[in-house]
Amino acid sequence: MKNIIFIISLISLICCQEKTSTKKEAKMEAKEFVWEGANIYFLLTDRFNNGDTSNDINFERTKETGELRGFEGGDIKGVTQKIKEGYFTKLGINAIWMTPVVEQVHGETDEGTGVSYGYHGYWTKDWTSIDPNFGTKEDLKELVTIAHKNGIRILLDAVINHTGPVTDKDPVWPSDWVRTGPECSHDNYENTITCTLVKNLPDIKTESNEAVALPPQLVAKWKAEGRYAQELKELEAFFERTGHPRAPRFYIMKWLTDYITEFGIDGYRVDTVKHTEEFVWQEFKAECDVAFATYKKNNVDKVLDNNSFYLVGEVYNYAISNGKAYSFGDKKVNYFDKAFNSLINFELKWNVKQMEEKAVFYKYDSILNTELKNYGILNYMTSHDDGQPFDKERKMSYKTATMLFLTPGTAQVYYGDESARNLTIEGTVGDATLRSFMNWDEIQTKEETQKILAHWQKLGQFRANHMAVGAGRHALISDENGLIFSRVRNEDKVVIGIKLPAGEKTLDVSSIFNNGDKLSDFYSSQVVAVKDGKVSVNSEFKIVLLEKV
């Protein structure tokens, strides 16, 4: 009997230990995520990966276009495919921002850069439909589901400022919805807001509170598609719930927030922010928050974390040096309070060109922890409409990664940054040269491209594993024989060294780690021990990424 009792007790003890062990492992695997330290991958949906060749041509979009000004075949399925393959995870990406996937104008136009179709997604015809060139609602649902299973958030791109251009197939929206002139001169607040961004890009009357009827072309389209009654029913419910006037901007807010409640997207990058009244973005944030809360309530098992809905704004030419206030010359506007979590920072590429690394890190850490405390910035080195990228000739791909990933703030990797995708395409006019198709063949076949990608992957994964890198406090340790510094966020602590000598190198880590601590250099994959407050790393690399084992 005693033996039986002993055996039962032993089994119970083992089971308890296994449960405890499992709990510990689960806790260790749960990494913190905050948007302020995120790695966001920005891609043009049409230019990333073609996952379904059957949807490459729609609406007879077959006219010859200017170089890289037509649809090239990329789609939602192509992005999902790369998530499944682990491409983003290996790069340390924890959020993907895709250009708009809503239905684009069917016709073509020429803005002086050659015949163009709406391949980029910013020429909306119908906010309630997904353009078949990009895929279907089922494709988007699968994308979000697969992304979330891999710990990746999805940002879509919101356009409230304008419709698509007028073409032979796409009539102008009614005059109570849009203005068709004057064209913006950008010399003061009014001439940036109450005007068309460019010629033939009708500007939504976002300032209006006058009730408007649905555009007749939209009514006819929905009736032909057999969904007019349903769309009308949903609009009735939205306006009844919110009490908003049936003004143009609120229709669009309803349509955009549907992507939150229906698909569970995690955020929006918002286009042309400074061309729209600032109160619009406060209203939009409020509706996004309601939609996200509704989605979480209805999909408890699909909620990734407790983060709020993420809104990052494109205030063209906003710089971190501006702090909270963007100046129009005659007026300063704060787009952060009650609106955006973050703004895109157009300044980093210039800072990296003109300042030492030590000064860049200090500047960003200082501003983000004073004037911009509790807010964020989205840093980039290359983008889709910035004709002066940091490294247009792709001769500094290693430095691009090092400074993008190690500068405090959220990091935006533009598709192909990590593979030195060509940015100087012969025959292109304007920003088309920045939008070539992703260079998958070079990743597969070119050794140098693979080496560049490996550098981006190591830095990206390390940053994703440690929110301290992008969202922690920065402290200089030494600037002799390289640059050594720490980043600390609560209990998350790392020491990083760049521009170090190849071979044997010694780093003082006494301000962060204790004697006897075992540290891993993530970059060279070796483990070292702290002795007398220092560690020695012997590697061929000039960079060290130290974390506690």
Residues 393-406: tens digit of each pLDDT: 999 999 999 999 99
How large is the average pLDDT for residues 286-312?
A: 96
The mean of the pLDDT values for the chain is: 94
Q: Residue 357 has what pLDDT?
A: 98
CB half-sphere exposure, 533, CA atoms < 13 A: 5
Measured from the Cβ of residue 510, the count of other Cβ atoms closer than 10 Å reads: 14
Through-space distance between the first and last CA atoms of the chain, rounded to whole angstroms: 46
Instruction: Give mean pLDDT, residues 167-172.
Output: 98
Tokens 């000064």 belong to residue:
359
Bridge partners of 337, per DSSP, are none
Domain annotation for the chain: domains and CATH numbers? 37-205+265-276+296-435 (3.20.20.80), 466-549 (2.60.40.1180)
CA 505 remoteness from chain centre: 36
Q: Could you tell me the two tokens for 345?
A: 């920072």
- With bands split at pLDDT 50, 70 and 90, how would you rate the model's confidence at 263? very high
- The residue among 445 and 29 whose pLDDT is bigger is 445
Which SS3 state, helix, strand or coil, does residue 174 take?
A: coil
pLDDT in tens, 446-458: 999 999 999 999 9
Determine the Cα–Cα distance for residues 257 and 88; give it in Å rounded to an integer.
26
Is residue 66 within 8 A of residue 115, CB to CB? The reply is: yes
The DSSP call for residue 195 is S
- pLDDT of residue 12 exceeding 90, the answer is no
What does the pLDDT read at residue 31?
Answer: 84
Q: What pTM does this model have?
A: 0.94
Helices (H), 414-446: 440-445
Top-confidence residue, 17 or 389? 389
Is 18's pLDDT higher than 60?
no
**pLDDT for residue 2:** 39
Helices (H), strands (E): how many in the chain? 16, 24
Residue whose token pair is 């597969």:
444
Residue with the two structure tokens 């649905």:
214
* For residue 28, pLDDT beyond 70: no
